[in-house]
Amino acid sequence: MLLEVVDIAKSFGSVQALRGVSLALKPGSVHAVLGENGAGKSTLMKIISGVFPASSGTIRVEGQMVHWNRAEQARAAGVSTIFQEFILLPNLSVAENLFLGRELRTPLGLVDRQRQREESRRILARVGLDLDPDVLTGRLRVAEQQMVEIAKGVMRDARIFVFDEPTAALGDREAARLFDLIRQLRAEGKGILYISHRLPELFELCDEVTVLKDGQFAGHFAMQETTATELVTTMVGRTLDQLFPPHRTGGPGETVLELRDLRTTGFAGPVNLAIGRHEIVGLAGLEGQGQIGITRSIFEGHAPETGEILFEGLPLGHAGPAGGVAAGIGLIPEDRKAEGLFLPLSVARNIAVGLLSGKGLAQPASVPAEDIAAQIQRLRIRLRDAAQAISELSGGNQQKALLARWLVRGVKLLICEEPTRGVDIGAKSEIYAILRELADSGVPVLITSRELPELIGLCDRIVVVRDGATVGSFPGGTSTEEEIMAAAIGGQRA
């Protein structure tokens, strides 16, 4: 066995995050770890990666017991971890990051940049990445940074690779490339631990799966011998009969938001879009076709190059996100750590502040504590205490807290970029139900999503965006992924 984790427990103060968890990773296999938000997956991976020690239990690598207190020890023993928050230093070049802490030296003891550059090219080529080793990593896209992390592991001859929700921020094509690379690692006899909430990709990629529930071992299955239903039942402890709420049968209601001939910087456009009071509208399209330009024009009131935005019949002319908030618009950003959360602040404070972290300092906002408590309960946010730091919550529960931020202020329009990124399947169905409730009550919802089944299952209407222009509109529920994809690709080749 490559890696054996036996009877691990971990507590954070009074919170028992893991209890009696065991797992065995074979060489040449991809082993999924599945469980609800807060089940303890990331905590387990951090213990395996040496970020912090377990409270009790043992870890063996190739039969040898190990005791790790620091990530560097695990790395030296051949564990390479691709965390969701990257540890690459943004102001160093790719080559410098790859050789960080083990620089190549000239006979005089200076860093041998030339040789590092050449070596980097060779390693990058091995993971199929065509990158200039001199480029700063901060300028790379998430997918590329991930590949550099993997290259770093390959370079150090890591035998165990740990991935914590690697595809959460990737488009389809980038995800496919990552899967190819993981398969290549498997073929070389590496062991891979793989966390994801996306069941289809687990079935596509993984050989076996360990399920955690409430910090405890809940089951282990060979991927080929299990079904999605069995896995979901094991992780949530009940059968989930319906992921999406029913679509609206009444009409869309009067128009609340209208975008007329809107052109945003860098895209051909134009966008023409109207959203009714009771609608959930989804923006579909290939990666980076201007979807975010549209959501931010509405929330931040960027002066569009041409065209106009009407909100409740009046031109929306606010400057900056504070104006969007004042107008009664809420936005959940796609990158919740960088743009949404105030990580050092408490959960309560994060909900009370009606701002995005990427856009300003957390001003005190007067929201009654009981309103915050009511949203925490309504959304079933799992926490110890509303006063604890939001950084201590699991990814999915952080996402719910961002939703609570807008629910608590009774917004008149809610925009969600990737509403269920990193959210488990049970919590997904809860979020979908709440978005539907909002639309029914007269608060329209605009979402962007990379997941077509989500757009089709949730939205009343799906609007396809290509090069910053609205190029098609499809009814939710009855449309197929193929027709939406065809519109998204348009004349260009796939």
Ligand X SMILES: Nc1ncnc2c1ncn2[C@@H]1O[C@H](COP(=O)(O)OP(=O)(O)OP(=O)(O)O)[C@@H](O)[C@H]1O
CA distance 422 to 424: 7
What residue 393 binds from Mg ion, ligand X, none (CB within 5 to 8 A, per partner kind)? ligand X
CB atoms within 10 A of CB 398: 23
CA distances from 303 to 269, 275, 317, 412, 416 (A): 15, 20, 8, 21, 21
Tokens of 320: 């900056």
Minimal distance, residue 16 CB to ligand X, in Å: 8
Minimal distance, residue 67 CB to Mg ion, in Å: 24
Q: Which range of residues in 241-249, 268-276, 393-401, 471-479 is near ligand X by CB under 6 A? A: 393-401
Q: In what order do the strands lie in the sheet with 329-332?
A: 329-332, 413-417, 445-448, 280-284, 461-466, 469-475
Nearer to Mg ion, 42 or 234 (CB): 42
Beta-carbon contacts of residue 181 (< 8 Å; ≥ 6 apart) = 127, 128, 147, 150
Q: Does 39 bind ligand X (CB under 6 A)?
A: yes
- Give the helix, strand, coil percentages of the chain, each rounded to 5: 35, 25, 40
Residue 63 contacts residue 226 (beta carbons within 8 Å) = no
Q: Which range of residues in 35-43, 75-83, 232-240, 247-255 is near ligand X by CB under 6 A? A: 35-43
Q: Does 40 bind ligand X (CB under 6 A)?
A: yes
Q: Which range of residues in 38-46, 129-137, 307-315, 354-362 is near Mg ion by CB under 5 A? A: 38-46
CB atoms within 10 A of CB 152: 22
Binding to ligand X (CB under 6 A) within 396-425 occurs at: 396-397, 424
Strands 280-284 and 64-66 come out as unpaired
Binding to Mg ion (CB under 5 A) within 373-402 occurs at: 394-395
Q: Does 291 bind ligand X (CB under 6 A)?
A: no
Taking CB under 6 A as the criterion, the residue among 42, 49, 97, 375 binding ligand X is: 42
Taking CB under 6 A as the criterion, the residue among 43, 145, 297, 479 binding ligand X is: 43
Task: Estimate the crossing angle of helix 425-440 against helix 395-407, to 10 degrees.
Answer: 10
Where would I find the beta strands (DSSP E) of 35-126? 56-61, 64-66, 79-82
CA distance 211 to 67: 25
Taking CB under 6 A as the criterion, the residue among 276, 321, 395, 426 binding ligand X is: 395
Minimal distance, residue 383 CB to ligand X, in Å: 6
Number of residues that bind ligand X (CB under 6 A): 19
Taking CB under 6 A as the criterion, the residue among 19, 41, 186, 428 binding ligand X is: 41
Q: Does 35 bind ligand X (CB under 6 A)?
A: yes
Binding to ligand X (CB under 6 A) within 365-384 occurs at: 382
What residue 448 binds from ligand X, Mg ion, none (CB within 5 to 8 A, per partner kind)? none
What residue 17 binds from Mg ion, ligand X, none (CB within 5 to 8 A, per partner kind)? ligand X
Q: Does 155 bind ligand X (CB under 6 A)?
A: no
Q: Does 38 bind Mg ion (CB under 5 A)?
A: no
Binding to ligand X (CB under 6 A) within 2-31 occurs at: 12, 15, 17
Minimal distance, residue 43 CB to ligand X, in Å: 3
Beta-carbon contacts of residue 194 (< 8 Å; ≥ 6 apart) = 30, 31, 32, 33, 163, 166, 182, 202, 205, 206
Q: In what order do the strands lie in the sheet with 15-25?
A: 64-66, 56-61, 3-12, 15-25, 216-222, 208-213, 29-34, 191-195, 160-164, 79-82
Nearer to ligand X, 201 or 424 (CB): 424
Q: Does 37 bind ligand X (CB under 6 A)?
A: yes
Minimal distance, residue 212 CB to Mg ion, in Å: 11
Number of residues that bind Mg ion (CB under 5 A): 3
Minimal distance, residue 41 CB to Mg ion, in Å: 5
Measured in whole angstroms, how far is the alpha carbon of residue 158 from the centre of its chain?
25
CA distances from 339 to 165, 184, 342, 363, 422 (A): 19, 34, 9, 16, 16
Q: Which residues bind Mg ion (CB under 5 A)?
A: 42, 394-395
Q: Which residues bind ligand X (CB under 6 A)?
A: 12, 15, 17, 35, 37-43, 382, 392-397, 424
